[in-house]
Amino acid sequence: MKVVMIYGSADDVPFMEPAREYLNASEVKYEETVISAHRNLSELIEYLGKLEESAQKVVILAIAGLAATLPGVVVMQTSLPVIGVPVPQGPLNGIDALLSISQLPGEVPATTVGLHKKAPVNAAMAAHRILRLAGSA
């Protein structure tokens, strides 16, 4: 059982430090990877396929920066739960990312957290609760 944080850009990694702190304090296993849905789509699809094949209980945090494509692409490539985390950056300070995630069309079941500095912790806590439902996290 683990949380997987996927970033479209290494620039978004520092934003998720509070999530790492929460997961470490709660003794929840996690891994992080940077794979752009725009620049490395085939690598992202391969990575998600390996997560599916592993049969591990996983919750994915898809960290969405400027283009905010990652959560939608991830949720369409896996049956694992996906929580989109909008990053407050860019000309609209993340409003575009939040709307991109929360307005995904029907049958694209990504969830999202708010757009604020506590969003990483909220996402980590939500993922932890989902894992607890699934077993021994």
Domains of the chain: 2-134 (3.40.50.1970)
Chain position carrying tokens 């989902």: 130
pLDDT for position 78:
94
pLDDT for position 137:
54
pLDDT, one tens digit per residue, over 11-27 is: 999 999 999 999 999 99
Strand order in the sheet with 82-86: 30-34, 2-7, 58-64, 82-86, 111-112
Q: What percent of the chain has pLDDT over 70?
A: 99
The answer to whether the predicted template modeling score (pTM) of the entire model surpasses 0.85 is: yes
- The mean per-residue pLDDT over the stretch 79-102 comes to 93
